[in-house]
Amino acid sequence: MDESTSKTAQAVSDSNGLTLTKQTPEQLVARAIAPVKGEFLRPPPVRASSATQNDDVSEQTDDKATVQSGGLVKEKKSKRQLKRERRQEQKSAKNLCPEVAKTGDISSCPYNDKCRFSHDFEAFKAQKPADLEGECPFFKGGGSCPYGLACRFSGTHTDDMPPSDLKGRRKSSEINGLSKDVQKLLWKNKMHFPKADAKLTALELWENKDKVTEKATGGLLFYRFDLLFFLLYYAIFLFSFNTRALSKSKFESSAEVTKDDGVCDTDQVVEKSCIQAEPEAGNEVIPPETDQSLKLHPREKMLIDFRDKLYLAPLTTVGNLPFRRVCKVLGADVTCGEMAMCTNLLQGQASEWALLRRHSSEDLFGVQICGAHPDTVARTVELIEQECTIDFIDINMGCPIDIVVNKGAGSALLTKPMRMQNIVEVASGTVDKPITVKVRTAYFEGKKRIHSIIADMGSWGASAVTIHGRSRQQRYSKLADWDYVYQCARKAPSTLQVAGNGDIFSFVDWNNHKAECSELATCMIARGALIKPWIFTEIKEQRHWDISSGERLNILKDFVHFGLEHWGSDTKGVETTRRFLLEWLSYTCRYIPVGLLEVIPQRLNWRPPSYYGRDDLETLMASDSAADWVRISEMLLGKVPDGFRFAPKHKSNAYDRAENG
């Protein structure tokens, strides 16, 4: 049904429960209010006061918190105190030793009394929550459960199952884990980055090296060149080779060169054959790191064709591995991991490296990194290429989050085009994997900049660039500027693929953008996939899917199953899965079923009024209350623990907040 089909007026209630003047669907659309059919509208639910409501959904605070200036402030604890509390928590009865849990035998632990976990099997059984309904996700997949008696589905375990093997299980489905050996090298500052250091030297990006490195890595100074490398590079820089002689003598002694007719010393000057003490006029010295005859040209490194592929954007928090698996099942072609900070990766933080994990179903996968300085980015891409199996590396230069921007990374780089160029050049020159870039239109509203540099980005070494049609200052307050995205795509060289991003919420939006600008390689889908991940199916099948509440619940069940495989089927894994499920539900509540709308398709900026669904489950899924999201999680993961509270990191109504523009 299009906008002209129905002229039926309807009543809409505002957030205070007052009925607004009856308006036509066209008038509602003009005000960015979703035109829900009149028979489904209802007054907003009566809620408790804001203070009580915030208490219901807020994160659980420390008992010793004190009230200052009308706000709740947590008591600050020292690192030693936090460490002691973690140790005590590990020793509690609810943290049973993994070896004891797998075998049921206390003597199976090789650490005995020195083990940091509890060996009190009876106390663990006494406090363990009841098993969940269903069967163990690991046994269901044909393997063995690595959590043994700690599994929340342990009642379904049978004696004839093969012995558990956690490492074998993980390797069969997920890759890109951080090995302990590499982590220890990163912790001790003993990891070497020869490719990155060579490229940084060739591009003369070592100025004020120690100060820049210390600032970028939080005080960790990286390693200097090996003395042998310095001598070799210095010798090569002093003397000129022809291309053939250089490729043959790169690893030979720089003291003498063998010729077809004998050996000549470096002191001799033989025309066009031997190393010369001084370079000839007009014969510029080309070090091996910049010799284009030895390095792949950026055009030769463009190994991925993004054209017309459905690209799931890297999404912070919600774009985790289980969510990406859901999107792959529903039709996504390209997936990308959550944004990881370069400094955290170089420090060996396990939580940051977890963002790089890849599932076997992700056949076209990239990772996204964010850094403020060329040296940290260069070392990070070299480390990732060495330790991970990926198809491309995306550099984020558009993140608007304050904590990222204040460090000079993300969208802060949009104010420093020379820094952008240095980062892309050094990253592209360090690794052979394709380097892609994600940017916004500008940092400040009204001061667009990408159109002036996009023609050069291909020569920097980028294989593709994604343009989000908003500035950093704008955030999500207005619709994306796709006309500007088209303008940039038309100015880009043919070797640089351009993807657009912003407000794609249906196959109609996808078709319109592709038709308006044939130069666009593809469109990246971000919030649209968070609210309705079946958008990939809609685009491929070219239809509006009036999905039922039961089908939506099945998608959530798939996410829970994937989450238990990824985070674990013990109590900790169940609660981690619940937390990420609730984060996702804070977005999915904004979806309005197709059958309830007067005008289709739904637009991403429409504010949904309060409405009834076609059944109780659909009504529950439409609620913007955290308490209702918790109820949905209990349908899939059992009762929440005592004292459980939840507040989403990403506010589902953030597009309506005054501070966002």
Exposure string (b/e) for 314-345, b if CB count within 10 Å is 16 or more?
A: bbeebbbbbbbbbbbbbbbbbbbbbbbbbbbb
For residue 485, tell me if it sits in a domain: yes
15-39: pLDDT as tens digits:
444 454 478 999 999 999 999 999 9
Which of 108-112, 353-357, 402-406 is least confident? 108-112
- The DSSP string of 614-637 is SSHHHHHHT---HHHHHHHHHHHH
Least Cα distance to 311 among 479, 481, 467, 495 occurs for 467
- Per the residue annotation, which of 399, 488, 517, 589 is the catalytic one? 399
Least Cα distance to 540 among 305, 308, 306 occurs for 308
Exposure string (b/e) for 586-599, b if CB count within 10 Å is 16 or more?
A: bbbbbbbbbebbbb
d(CA 137, CA 560): 10
Residue 508, classified by CB atoms within 10 Å of its CB into exposed (0-12), middle (13-18) or buried (19+), is: middle
Least Cα distance to 502 among 519, 491, 486, 518 occurs for 486
Q: Are residues 376 and 402 in the same domain?
A: yes
pLDDT-above-90 percentage for the chain: 56
Least Cα distance to 379 among 231, 223, 149 occurs for 223
Rg of the chain on CA atoms, in Å: 29
137-159: pLDDT as tens digits:
888 777 788 898 899 998 888 76
For residue 556, tell me if it sits in a domain: yes
d(CA 22, CA 66): 48
Task: Write the single-letter amino acid at 342.
Answer: C
Domain boundary among the residues 159, 175, 197 is at 159
Q: Are residues 336 and 397 in the same domain?
A: yes
For residue 244, tell me if it sits in a domain: no
Q: Please state the three-class secondary structure of 447-501 as a single string.
A: CCCHHHHHHHHHHHCEEEEEEECCCCCCCCCCCCCHHHHHHHHHHCCCCCEEEEE
pLDDT on residue 621: 97
Least Cα distance to 497 among 451, 411, 436, 429 occurs for 436
Q: Are residues 443 and 567 in the same domain?
A: no
- Kindly report the average pLDDT of the chain as a whole number: 79
For residue 185, tell me if it sits in a domain: no
pLDDT on residue 103: 84
Q: Are residues 524 and 375 in the same domain?
A: yes
Q: Is the pLDDT of residue 612 over 50?
A: yes
Residue 559, classified by CB atoms within 10 Å of its CB into exposed (0-12), middle (13-18) or buried (19+), is: buried
User: How does strand 497-501 pair with strand 435-440?
Assistant: unpaired
Q: Are residues 421 and 516 in the same domain?
A: yes
Which of 53-67, 163-177, 434-448 is least confident? 53-67
pLDDT on residue 274: 30
454-482: pLDDT as tens digits:
999 999 999 999 999 999 887 776 889 99
pLDDT on residue 217: 44
Q: Is the pLDDT of residue 168 over 50?
A: no
Q: Are residues 555 and 572 in the same domain?
A: yes
Residue in the structure block whose two tokens are 């070896």 = 99
410-436: pLDDT as tens digits:
999 999 999 999 999 999 999 999 999
Q: How many domains is the chain built from?
A: 3
Domain boundary among the residues 159, 174, 192 is at 159
Q: Are residues 533 and 622 in the same domain?
A: no
- Helix or strand holding residue 584 (H, E): helix 571-588
For residue 72, tell me if it sits in a domain: no
Q: Are residues 419 and 540 in the same domain?
A: yes
For residue 347, tell me if it sits in a domain: yes
Calculate mean pLDDT across residues 532-539: 97
Is the CB of residue 624 less than 8 Å from the CB of residue 630? no
Q: Are residues 497 and 557 in the same domain?
A: no
Which of 47-61, 99-113, 256-270, 435-449 is least confident? 256-270
Calculate mean pLDDT across residues 593-600: 95
pLDDT on residue 319: 95
Number of other residues whose CB lies within 10 A of the CB of residue 68:
8
318-352: pLDDT as tens digits:
999 999 999 999 999 999 999 999 999 999 999 99
Which CATH number characterizes residue 358's domain?
3.20.20.70
**Per-state percent for the chain, helix, strand, coil, to nearest 5:** 45, 10, 45
Exposure string (b/e) for 527-555, b if CB count within 10 Å is 16 or more?
A: bbbbbbbbbbbbbeeeebbebbbeebbeb
Q: Is the pLDDT of residue 294 over 70?
A: no
d(CA 345, CA 351): 9
Residue in the structure block whose two tokens are 């049904």 = 1
pLDDT on residue 296: 53
H-type alpha helices, 21-111: 25-30, 50-57, 79-91, 98-103
Which of 59-63, 204-208, 335-339, 613-617 is least confident? 59-63
pLDDT on residue 10: 54
Q: Are residues 481 and 582 in the same domain?
A: no
Least Cα distance to 354 among 492, 170, 112, 480 occurs for 170
Calculate mean pLDDT across residues 295-324: 82
Q: Is the pLDDT of residue 314 over 60?
A: yes
Exposure string (b/e) for 187-215, b if CB count within 10 Å is 16 or more?
A: eeeebbbebbbbbbbbbebeeeeeebbeb
Q: Is the pLDDT of residue 207 over 60?
A: no
Q: Is the pLDDT of residue 175 over 50?
A: yes
Q: Is the pLDDT of residue 11 over 60?
A: no
pLDDT confidence bin for 292, thresholds 50/70/90? very low
Q: Are residues 325 and 404 in the same domain?
A: yes
Q: Is the pLDDT of residue 248 over 90?
A: no
pLDDT confidence bin for 170, thresholds 50/70/90? very low
Q: Are residues 482 and 605 in the same domain?
A: no
pLDDT on residue 231: 54
For residue 528, tell me if it sits in a domain: yes
Q: Is the pLDDT of residue 604 over 80?
A: yes
78 vs 249: which has the higher pLDDT? 78
Range of the domain at 446: 311-545
Least Cα distance to 565 among 146, 161, 96 occurs for 146
Domain boundary among the residues 545, 567, 591 is at 545
Calculate mean pLDDT across residues 380-395: 96
Residue 115: active-site member? no
For residue 196, tell me if it sits in a domain: no
